[in-house]
Amino acid sequence: MRLTILGAGTGASGLPNAAQYPPGFLVEWADPAGDSGQQKILFDCSEGVRFRLAQAGHEYSQLHHVAITHPHPDHNVFLQFLQAVYLKWSSGGEQFKNPELHLYAPRHIIGNMDQQWDLLWQTPGPRYYKSPALKLHVMPDESALIGNGKLSAAKVYHESGNSDAVAFRLETPEGIFAYSGDTGDCPGIRQVCRDVDIFVCEDTARIGQEEKAIAYGHLTPRQAGEIAKDGKVKKLIFFHYTGQDSHQAMIDDCRLSGFSGEVVIGEDFQVFEI
């Protein structure tokens, strides 16, 4: 299993200590039945993610699986991505044709997709493209088999409880991966990260601002460490940090939780293998 960080940042960019693209994470694993003996899935689909995929050596038009945690625009510009996939084929030729694209997302995203489409394109008639065919999966209602891997999700607490947000868990023969999206401490996030090899976890809240984090639904480094400790996580990778605390201060605060596994401050283009 290989994780490539495409964007470890937030909706802002170019900040001191946080000069990362908004969230995007590519996970690949071996599956003899998959394209080129592999499966791959993109977690969160932010602005710029297709350029990051290209920079990391991946053809964005050939992705078949995208999982989005919540509707906020630093995680979800799916229709813009879909347009780019379609235009790659219609402008670039048959080698870029993508017959099928699965979207795994909370109900608020999938249930409002037609309205989003109508906001962008005003001609009445059929919506979406001839290719790729969209396959929609409401999470966490479903758990989906992706080749020999299993994707599941749990509802999490974000935007003061108003956001229809989920966190994801991907189980493959090579290892288990969990991705928090944006969340505060809640039963859902503790459930998805149990016994995982890699936990990519948000770290938006400033050190010491635990109460504010609980109220809105974000995590301080210490709170993330407590969740990782409880889940017996092997490797904790922080993303979605604002840069207001230094990287070392974040790691020190995380250690106050008693979490003894590996802690990494995620940065764009880092690659982790299991």
Nearest-angstrom CA–CA distance, 11 and 73: 8
Q: Which is nearer to Zn ion, 71 or 175 (CB)?
A: 71
Q: Which is nearer to Zn ion, 28 or 74 (CB)?
A: 74
CB of 157 to Zn ion, least distance (A): 11
Q: Which residues bind Zn ion (CB under 5 A)?
A: 72, 74, 182
CB of 119 to Zn ion, least distance (A): 20
CB of 218 to Zn ion, least distance (A): 8
Q: Which is nearer to Zn ion, 106 or 149 (CB)?
A: 106
- Which residue do the tokens 């790691």 mark? 251
CB of 186 to Zn ion, least distance (A): 14
Q: Which is nearer to Zn ion, 72 or 88 (CB)?
A: 72
How crowded is residue 243: how many other Cβ atoms within 10 Å of its Cβ? 17
CB of 74 to Zn ion, least distance (A): 4
Nearest to 151 by CA among 68, 229, 232: 68
DSSP characters for the chain?
A: -EEEEEE-S-S--SBTTB--PSPEEEEEEE-TTSGGGEEEEEE-B-TTHHHHHHHTT--GGG--EEE---S-TTTB-HHHHHHHHHHHHHHH-GGG---EEEEEE-HHHHHTHHHHHHHH----S--S-SSSEEEEEETTT--EEETTEEEEEEEE--GGGTS-EEEEEEEETTEEEEE--S--S-HHHHHHTTT-SEEEEE--SPTT-HHHHHHHT---HHHHHHHHHHHT-SEEEEES--SSS-HHHHHHHHHTTT--SEEEE--TT-EEE-
Q: Which is nearer to Zn ion, 182 or 226 (CB)?
A: 182
Q: Which is nearer to Zn ion, 40 or 72 (CB)?
A: 72
CB of 70 to Zn ion, least distance (A): 6
CB of 46 to Zn ion, least distance (A): 8
Q: Which is nearer to Zn ion, 27 or 205 (CB)?
A: 205
**Which structure tokens are listed for 265?**
């401050």
